[in-house]
């Protein structure tokens, strides 16, 4: 079932599919000619059995990116036991419970179960509220540990922002954000093997240097995409207790497809094995965070919608 949330003033419409990992399947924000669709969906988006990322805005939990240990893909070690998680975890692959649905907001929850304990032996409760307010979509997040042992995790989002097709304007879309550093991957994209100078921005989203590029972002944590028609798409991910909660940004695109992914992550890939990169929630503790997406017009007063 698809749930719709609309801002009271009609300036935002979003659709969320709790049964498909609580993915945002559509987001329409103000554009030059009225509301414009901001998200791309793969052809396999509605396949309930797919293990691939669908497009839209998938939720990543309890990990972002890939895991690998001793050459075994998806593997990590905890307390002497080996566990396996797929890329980006199980959050985007499991059905979420609908807690409350109102005209402008949808609240969903995901909790540990026998199924999750086989992959991730920790108690957890995540509550997300998708809220449409004047000119922007808010995704309010509450990560909780109701268990008796500390729980490692690093969550994130994988938004597929819609662009013009290749050769018809995609090359003219520019990305900018405050980049502090760039991290180098190994050949399997499972581990960070170095840290270097950040990419020079702004630049075209088709710049080959941006594909599979992992950056550390500055305190503002705002990303913007400037489109050739003068519209600007903004995204900002922050923690309420720790403003730098999402200090990593993964960039990804396919040249032939009309999308660009700018993914706010809490940690780098394989942090579950390196341990030091994980967030750790103490028993009874919680972290709250906020993802905001909005649009503006280039040359107009930008920033807040």
Q: What is the mean pLDDT of each run of 10 residues along the chain (305 residues)?
A: 97 98 98 92 96 97 97 96 98 98 98 97 98 97 98 98 97 97 93 92 96 93 96 97 96 96 97 90 98 90 58
Domain coverage including residue 54: 3-297
Instruction: Tell me how far apart the alpha carbons of residues 16 and 3 are, in angstroms, rounded to a whole number.
Output: 5
Task: Report how far apart, in Å, the C-alpha atoms of 241 and of each of 88, 123, 180, 288, 290 are.
Answer: 24, 21, 21, 7, 11
Query: What pLDDT sits at residue 208?
Result: 93
Count the domains in the chain.
1
Q: Note the pLDDT tens digit of each residue in 151-180.
A: 999 999 999 999 999 999 999 999 999 999
| Position 184 in a domain | yes
| Position 233 in a domain | yes
Query: What pLDDT sits at residue 293?
Result: 98
CA 203 to chain centre: 21
Query: What pLDDT sits at residue 33?
Result: 81
Residue 47 DSSP code? -
Query: What pLDDT sits at residue 274?
Result: 87
Model confidence, pTM: 0.96
CA 20 to chain centre: 15
| Position 183 in a domain | yes
Instruction: Tell me how far apart the alpha carbons of residues 124 and 122 are, in angstroms, rounded to a whole number.
Output: 6
| Position 303 in a domain | no
Instruction: Tell me how far apart the alpha carbons of residues 76 and 85 are, in angstroms, rounded to a whole number.
Output: 8
CB 106 within 8 A of CB 5: yes
Instruction: Tell me how far apart the alpha carbons of residues 273 and 66 are, in angstroms, rounded to a whole number.
Output: 11
CB 74 within 8 A of CB 89: no
Q: How many helices (H) and strands (E) does the chain have?
A: 2, 27
CB 242 within 8 A of CB 250: no
CATH of the domain at 107: 2.70.98.10
Q: What is the CA radius of gyration of the chain?
A: 18
| Position 220 in a domain | yes
Q: Which of 268, 199, 262 is nearest to 234 (CA)?
A: 262
| Position 127 in a domain | yes
Q: Report the DSSP beta bridge partners of residue 239.
A: 289
CB 3 within 8 A of CB 16: yes
| Position 304 in a domain | no
Task: Report how far apart, in Å, the C-alpha atoms of 154 and of each of 182, 255, 284, 305 are.
Answer: 19, 28, 17, 29
Tokens coding 216: 């550390």
Phi, psi (5° rounding) for residue 10? 80, 10
Query: What pLDDT sits at residue 302?
Result: 56
| Position 235 in a domain | yes
Q: Report the DSSP beta bridge partners of residue 55.
A: 41
């Amino acid at each position: 079932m698809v749930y719709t949330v609309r801002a009271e003033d009609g300036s935002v419409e979003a659709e969320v599919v709790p049964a498909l990992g609580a993915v945002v399947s559509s987001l329409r924000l103000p554009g030059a000619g009225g509301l414009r669709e901001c998200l791309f969906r793969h052809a396999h988006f509605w396949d309930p059995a797919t293990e691939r990322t669908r497009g839209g805005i998938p939720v990543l939990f309890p990990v972002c990116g890939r895991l690998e240990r001793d050459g075994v893909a998806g593997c990590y070690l905890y307390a002497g036991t080996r566990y396996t998680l797929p890329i980006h975890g199980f959050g985007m692959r499991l059905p979420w419970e609908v807690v409350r649905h109102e005209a402008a907001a949808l609240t969903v929850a995901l909790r540990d179960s026998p199924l999750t304990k086989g992959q991730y032996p920790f108690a957890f409760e995540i509550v997300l509220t998708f809220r449409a307010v004047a000119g922007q979509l808010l995704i309010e997040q509450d990560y909780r540990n109701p268990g008796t042992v500390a729980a490692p995790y690093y969550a994130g989002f994988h938004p597929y922002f819609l662009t013009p097709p290749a050769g018809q304007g995609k090359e003219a879309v520019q990305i900018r954000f405050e980049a502090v550093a760039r991290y180098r991957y190994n050949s399997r994209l499972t581990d960070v093997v170095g840290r270097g100078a950040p990419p020079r921005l702004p630049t075209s989203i088709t710049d080959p240097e941006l594909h599979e590029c992992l950056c550390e972002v500055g305190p503002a944590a705002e990303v913007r995409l400037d489109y050739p028609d003068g519209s600007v798409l903004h995204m900002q991910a922050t923690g309420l207790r720790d403003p730098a909660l999402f200090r990593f940004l993964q960039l990804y695109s396919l040249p032939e497809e009309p999308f660009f992914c700018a993914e706010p992550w809490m940690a780098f890939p394989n942090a579950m094995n390196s341990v030091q990169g994980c967030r750790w929630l103490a028993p009874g503790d919680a972290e709250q965070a906020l993802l905001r997406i909005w649009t503006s017009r280039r040359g107009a007063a930008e920033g807040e919608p």
